[in-house]
Structure 1
Amino acid sequence: MRLKPRTVTLLMSGLGSMLLCALAIGQTVNAIIDEEEDRIQVAQQGQDEIDGIVATTRVRFDEYQSLLKQIEGVQVYNRLLQNQIDDQNRTLDDLRSSIEEVTVIERQVLPLMTRMIDGLERFVELDVPFLLNERQQRIANLKTLLNRSDVTAAEQFRNVMEAWQIENDYGSAPETYTDIVPVGGATREVDILKIGRVALLYLTPDGQQAGAWDHRSREWVELGDEYLAPIRQGLRVVETGQVDQAMFVIPVAPPEEQ
């Protein structure tokens, strides 16, 4: 069947229209696809930015958590340090109070020790003159010690009390030593027999003269020959340490009237 020219023309026109429509549709689809690809690309970029923000936020959060733990540790450490500081401050307050008390005590003790040394010096001057050089030197040492800044008040006080204790012990123990005393108008070295503070006697090395300290007249007096043997025996007994096992007679001055 042959188509008429008009029909063919119409058919060709329809086909052209369809082709134009298909072409237009294809162009539209391509544009839509391009737009979708652009949107997807933009969305992907946005997602990448979001992922970057999330990662950064996670890092920042982890750092924040770490900082919180560090801050908590520092706060605990600061509390411990503050407790130590408070305890040290209390200790310092106690030390300051103790130092103030010690200062007050030292201000009271130093005059007391001065009076004790002066009293000891006066006591030795009035006492029986045994071991006089030794006792006077001890007092001189105490006075020097009291003026030394490198010696504590406690050490000074201990030495003063020790000197008084030595003087106290002199009154109970017998003792022998050599000394120089006036004998027959001249000074001679003699053997001294000290019986506490009860008697202070001497015997010349040749055993021919004896004497005793008279506390009332405060001078040495010569004794009769009858005391030579007892004093010699007393010297021997004390030197051998047999005081508790022997008995000997010595002259004793009568008690002084008050």
Structure 2
Amino acid sequence: MKLSPLAKASLVVSLQASSLLFTGALLAQTTNTQADSQLNKVVEAGENITQSAAKSQQKVNKLTEKVQTKLQQFKTVTKEVDGLTVYNQQMQNQLDNQMAELAQLAQSMEEVSVIERQISPLMARMITTLEDFIALDVPFLPVERAKRVNDLKAMMNRADIAVSEKFRRVLEAYQIEVDYGRTIEAYSGTLALNGQNTDVDFLRVGRVSLVYQTRDGSQLGQWQQTNGKGDWQALSQDYRLGVNKALRIARKQLAPDLMMIPLTTNISNGTLTAAAE
């Protein structure tokens, strides 16, 4: 069958159009495939970036935690350093004070020998003065007071007692003598009466009165001092009740109360310096 020229021309045009359509479709498909491939690469690159960013953030977080920890440690150490600085300053001040005290002690130790050379003669004079005072004083507790002085004399020759302890004991003896002047005391003893030793009760009121009474109460007497010398003088029985009351008060058998007792009469150069109460 023979085609007309027009038909041939139409067929050629149709074939060319089909070829163009196929080529376009093929090109579109190829373009889409390339686009998909590029998109996948972009998505994959984005995911990689995201993962890298996440890892970087984790590193940043860890570094931040480390920095915070180090900062806290730094603050703690700084506080400790400040505290140690203040403590060291206090210790330095104490050390300076101790060094000053050591210097004073060293100086005092150098002066100890000088003090010891001066204090020993002083104590010897004090003991001698105390002995003389007791000899001239009202003769109460003669054995006890004499023993105290003798003990002090013996103590001065002992090398095992420190000088400070010796001085303390001498001052203690002086204090005891001072206390005698403001206390009341009753004690028992013996007294030579009418040529024989007789048991009596002594009453001492400070240093203003020293009285004795025999155990049966039949005799009373009082120490009298004249021109530095003294002797026992008999008392009237009128004083018996007052002396008995004073003895009971001194022995704490009665509450403190008014006592009617004779005072020691000191006569010097013919002058009466104290009278009976």
TM-score by length of 2: 0.57
Which residue pairs with 1:158 in the alignment? 168
In structure 2, what is the equivalent of residue 203 of structure 1?
213
Question: Given the superposition, is the C-alpha separation of residues 255 and 219 from structure 1 closer, same or farther in structure 2, using an over 3 Å criterion?
Answer: closer
* Counterpart Cα distance in 1 of 2:100 and 2:209: 60
Evaluate the alpha carbon distance shift between residue 103 and residue 207 of structure 1 in structure 2; reply closer, same or farther with a 3 A threshold.
same
Q: Give, as a single letter, the amino acid of the residue that structure 1 aligns with 2:261.
A: I
- Indicate whether 1:248 and 2:259 are aligned: yes
Match of 1:192 among 195, 202, 216: 202
Are positions 1:225 and 2:240 aligned together?
no
Query: What's the offset of the Cα at 1:90?
Result: 9.4
How much does 1:248 deviate? 2.3
Deviates more, 1:104-113 or 1:216-225: 216-225
Contact in 1 for aligned 2:225/2:265 (Cα 8 Å): no
Tell me, yes or no, if the aligned pair for 2:224 and 2:265 is still in contact at 8 Å.
no
Aligned to 2:247: 235
- Determine the C-alpha separation between the residues in 2 that align with 1:255 and 1:218: 9
Q: 1:29 maps to which residue?
A: none
Rounded to whole Å, the distance in 2 between the matches of 1:241 and 1:102 is 51
Report the Cα offset of residue 229 of structure 1: 1.8
Give the CA RMSD over aligned residues.
Answer: 2.4
Q: String of CA shifts for 1:127-146, please: whole Å, max 9, x gaps.
A: 00101100110011111111
Aligned counterparts of 1:243 and 1:145: Cα–Cα separation in 2:
40
**1:214: which partner in 2?**
224
Q: Is residue 180 of structure 1 aligned with residue 205 of structure 2?
A: no
Check if 1:104 corresponds to 2:114.
yes
Give the drift of 1:100: 2.3
Aligned length: 171
Partner amino acid, structure 2, of 1:185: G
1:124 aligns with 2:134: yes
The Cα shift of 1:184 comes to 2.6
5+ residue gaps, structure 2, are 1-98, 270-277
- Name the aligned partner's letter for residue 211 of structure 1: G
Write the letter of the residue equivalent to 1:132: P
Deviations 1:5-34 (A, max 9, x none): xxxxxxxxxxxxxxxxxxxxxxxxxxxxxx
TM-superposed deviation, 1:153: 0.7
Checking the alignment, whether the CA contact within 8 Å between 1:182 and 1:220 is kept in structure 2 is no
CA 1:90–1:171 in structure 2 vs 1: closer, same or farther (change >3 Å)? closer
Question: Partner residue of 1:134?
Answer: 144
How far off its partner does 1:253 sit? 2.9
Corresponding residue of 1:149: 159
Counterpart of 1:135, as a letter, is: R
Contact 2:211 2:220 (C-alpha < 8 Å) held by counterparts: yes
Which amino acid letter does the alignment assign opposite residue 248 of structure 1?
Answer: M
Q: Which runs of 4+ in 1 moved over 6 A?
A: 89-93
User: Structure 1: where are the runs of 5+ without partners?
Assistant: 1-88
Aligned with 2:135: secondary structure?
Answer: helix
Q: Identify the residue that residue 167 of structure 1 maps to in structure 2.
A: 177
The residue correspondences of 1:36-47 to structure 2 (distance < 5 A) are: none
SS of 1:112's equivalent in the other structure is helix
